[in-house]
């Protein structure tokens, strides 16, 4: 087998390793931890979020949104790499950086500027794409909570901020996916 190229992040020749059969797994630094370790839970929920974005992409979003979601999927792999290695400032590892958060905030502002101001809480739903983005938003919130649960073990504080901003962006993108149709809004007490 030829050596791995420098731009090739991993090479998997066999998917199963049997290394996790006893309920442990390896973190990115090689240390072994139980699969119930809060860091493993956190990057597992980030993986679930990434899969939800894959479902949103399967709903055939417009080209600009497609490119954005694909970029976010790649950043979520970066985030998972960040979460799977205990954090130490300046350790040279792949980490979420302030520029990525700044970009999410810019995207929130840009996409939100296209929307009408909210007059009520939005119910998840509307178009298929909007519904899938709402599910991704809620999984993103759960990923943030899971990452907070790992904070005492050494988590990049910017990873937490990134997840918080990303859930805001996913809410805005879900609303954007309903442009041109009536947005489902909460009607307090409507069932009484």
For 36-80, the pLDDT digits (tens) are 899 999 999 999 999 999 999 999 999 999 999 999 999 999 999
What pLDDT is recorded for position 3? Answer: 63
Tokens 């931890």 — which residue? Answer: 33
What pLDDT is recorded for position 2? Answer: 62
Q: Which of 12-16, 78-82, 150-154 shows the lowest per-residue confidence on average (mean pLDDT)?
A: 12-16
Q: How far apart are CA 114 and CA 83, in angstroms?
A: 33
What pLDDT is recorded for position 12? Answer: 65
Query: Two tokens at 124?
Result: 């998840």
What pLDDT is recorded for position 1? Answer: 59
pTM of the model: 0.91
- The alpha carbon of residue 27 and the mean position of all alpha carbons in its chain are separated, in whole angstroms, by 19
**Given CA atoms 45, 50, 55, 59 in this order, what sign does their dihedral have?**
positive
More confident residue, 7 or 108: 108
């Amino acid at each position: 087998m030829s050596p791995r190229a420098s731009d090739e992040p991993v090479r998997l020749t066999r998917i199963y390793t049997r290394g996790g059969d006893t309920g442990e797994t390896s973190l990115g630094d090689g240390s072994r931890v139980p699969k119930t370790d809060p860091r493993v839970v956190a990057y597992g929920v980030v993986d679930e979020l990434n899969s939800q974005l894959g479902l949103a992409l399967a709903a055939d979003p417009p080209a600009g949104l497609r490119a954005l979601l694909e970029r976010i999927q790649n950043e979520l792999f970066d985030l998972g790499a960040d979460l799977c290695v205990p954090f130490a400032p300046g350790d040279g590892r792949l980490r979420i950086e302030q520029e990525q958060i700044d970009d999410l905030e810019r995207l929130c502002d840009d996409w939100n500027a296209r929307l009408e101001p909210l007059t009520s809480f939005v119910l998840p739903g509307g178009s298929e794409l909007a519904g899938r983005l709402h599910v991704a938003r809620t999984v993103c919130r759960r990923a943030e909570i899971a990452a907070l649960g790992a904070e005492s073990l050494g988590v990049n504080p910017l990873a937490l901020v990134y997840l918080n901003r990303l859930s805001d962006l996913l809410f805005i993108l879900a609303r954007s996916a309903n442009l041109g149709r009536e947005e489902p809004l909460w009607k307090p007490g409507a069932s009484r």
